[in-house]
A and B are shown apart, each in its own frame.
Chain A
Amino acid sequence: MQVGLLRPALALYAALFLLFLYGPMIVLAILSFQSQGGGPQFPIQEWSVYWYKHLLGLAETSRVSQLPVGDSLIRSLVLAFLTTVVSVTLGTMSAEAFRTRFKGSGPVFYLIILGMMVPGVLVGLGVALLSNFLDIGRAWWSTSFVLHVVYTFPFAFLVMLAIFNRFDRSVEEASLSLGVSPAQTFRRVTFPLIFPGVLSAMLFSFTLSYDEFSRTLFTAGADLTLPLAIYGTFSVEIYPNVFAFGVLTTLFSFTLLVIYGLLMKRFTRNKRFAGQEDA
């Protein structure tokens, strides 16, 4: 069998693939340390953190206008937080409902899944038209918010569905029939079982909403979210301050990922006491 040769060949290919995935980000990260006089390309004239200072408003005034990150960052964080709370709640409730067999579960399933499939530019246009029609003003905390939930709720739902599919309802029933109160049962039995799912659903909802752009474009009104502020710089010439921003926002996403990993690890270490079995 020729597998002997195929294996290293595929390994090399996979390595090249990872280079393809990460290469642009690495180049972007390197160029974010360009000096003040340098352009958004090689060569690096001199290594400096000038563009980071520029981004944070610490640099002396220059011909390049500052990226409007301050207020839009706060808006994006608040929006992501609200979206996370609502979509994890909706996702958990819906997944819990799916533990019972009921008529019409197929259409309902696809209705929810449609939320993550339908193109953002399309629903964004729809919500903009609807709010014009009903004469409701568009704002990031109203029209954009409902669309962000439409987008992230299906992710939360799928994650919770996978969790619920894996654990046996009789565990809860045993607790209830042993006379433990429903509140105690939820705290001691159900919650520890679904916690990893809730955490994953939160991570999904928060990051997706934080980076969401196409659904926000038509629905945010006058006050921009962070991705919209960045999109505004697309049409004009780009400067390394966009790269510096890219590095920082990527680090932020990774921090969330690390926090998630640590929480998850800490939780799974204690899971013996919570009584969870590995599925």
Chain B
Amino acid sequence: MTTVIEDFPDEPAVSPAATREAKDRRRAFLLLTPGVLWMVLFMLMPLVMVIYVSFWTQSTFAVEPTLTTASWERFLSSPTYLTAIGTTLKTWIIVLLATIVVGYPVALFIGLFVKNRTLQTALLVACVIPFWTSFLIRVIAWRPMLGTEGAINIILLKLGIVSEPLSFLLFSEFSVYVGMTQIYCVFMVGPITFMIARIDDSIIEAARDLGASFGTIFRRIVLPLSLPGVIVGTIFVSVMVLGEFATAASLSGRKVNLLGNIIVSQVGSLKWAFAAVAGVVLTVIITAVITLALRVVDIRKEM
């Protein structure tokens, strides 16, 4: 009898709720371990490796783990590579602006003007479906469109708008911008539509009742509330455009050399250290862009 009574004061501190919480946390930890481990081993480690190898010594066909800044010096003093940084940034800005300008009105239409839910979903699905098809095929599909004997030139000639086929359409900077805008526009339209469709109709109604014109409603309500969507879209588009190389390789006729193209060509000639330097530069640029965008909006809250 006495032992039973004595047993009790020993463990009053641990409440069942606390025990359960500790158990839950242990469970969460176990469940997360494989995923986190996978990401650390196969994503973070490789990225660290890129930084590490950028300081290795490059000989003609091999790299050796003797640390040097030679590759960096060569990269930063070479006009070819510096131009590639400039081209990458220029392409990024142009394509980003193009996706916003092209995509925003579409998002506005689907999100605000289509009131039928089914039609809204159907339109959104129509915008997203190309994402389901092969990226390379979508790139290559621009060749028969833009070529000198391509669909656009044929139409322009038939309509008598031009007398000679336009040659700047394909294998130029223009074709790269058009191709990228078409491919990445979806990632801008989606988030913006999502944010606009979420706007409470009664707010707009109230503004209208108080005599606000559409311009005012757009400027004071729709635009500010859709901005997080623009930022999320900007992050998606930026990351993808900055890491691009296939569109430029296929549509520019080697006239546009992005950092991604530099990496591919350097790996092709076994210049691993130079490829790594270009990789680090690319990482720095992308990190800066994302950090800047995340300052404006917290993605996790918007999900």
Contacts and interface: CB of A to CB of B under 8 A. Distances in A.
B283 interface: yes
Contacts of B45: 126, 130
A11 B113 contact: yes
Contacts of A111: 36, 39-40, 44
A147 interface: yes
Nearest to B105: A13
B95 to A, nearest CB: 14
Contacts of A125: 46, 50, 263, 267, 275-276, 279
B256 interface: no
Contact of B136 (A122, A153, A230): A230
Nearest to A32: B144
B31 A97 contact: yes
B294 to A, nearest CB: 9
A211 B135 contact: yes
B43 A13 contact: no
A172 B294 CA distance: 36
B208 A28 contact: no
A20 B175 CA distance: 13
Contacts of B43: 114-115, 118, 123, 126, 150
A121 B109 contact: no
Interface stretch (A62-70, A179-187, A189-197, A249-257): A249-257
A93 interface: yes
Interface stretch (B5-13, B70-78, B194-202, B239-247): B239-247
A146 interface: yes
A93 B40 CA distance: 17
A53 to B, nearest CB: 19
Given A13-B109, A250-B134, A42 B154 contact: yes
User: How many interface residues does chain A have, given as a range?
Assistant: 35 or more
Contacts, number: 248
Given A42-B149, A133-B49, A214-B243, A119 B260 contact: yes
Nearest to B154: A42
Interface stretch (B79-87, B122-130, B222-230): B122-130
A108 B36 contact: yes
Considering residues A102, A109, A157, A162, which has the most beta carbons from chain B within 10 angstroms of its beta carbon?
Answer: A102
Contacts of A25: 130, 133, 137-138, 141
Given A24-B145, A121-B264, A127 B42 contact: yes
Contacts of B246: 213-214, 231, 234
Considering residues A10, A21, A129, which has the most beta carbons from chain B within 10 angstroms of its beta carbon?
Answer: A129
Interface of B: 24-25, 27-29, 31-32, 34-36, 38-50, 53, 102, 105-106, 108-110, 113, 123, 126-127, 129-130, 132-138, 140-145, 147, 149-151, 154, 182, 185-186, 208, 213-214, 235, 239-240, 242-246, 249-250, 260, 263-264, 267, 272, 275-276, 279, 282-283, 286, 290, 299-300, 303
12 contacts: A28-B140, A42-B151, A94-B31, A97-B32, A123-B47, A129-B49, A129-B53, A146-B38, A213-B136, A234-B136, A234-B249, A250-B134
Shortest 7 CB-CB contacts between residues of A and residues of B: A119-B243, A126-B46, A24-B141, A97-B31, A246-B137, A10-B109, A97-B28
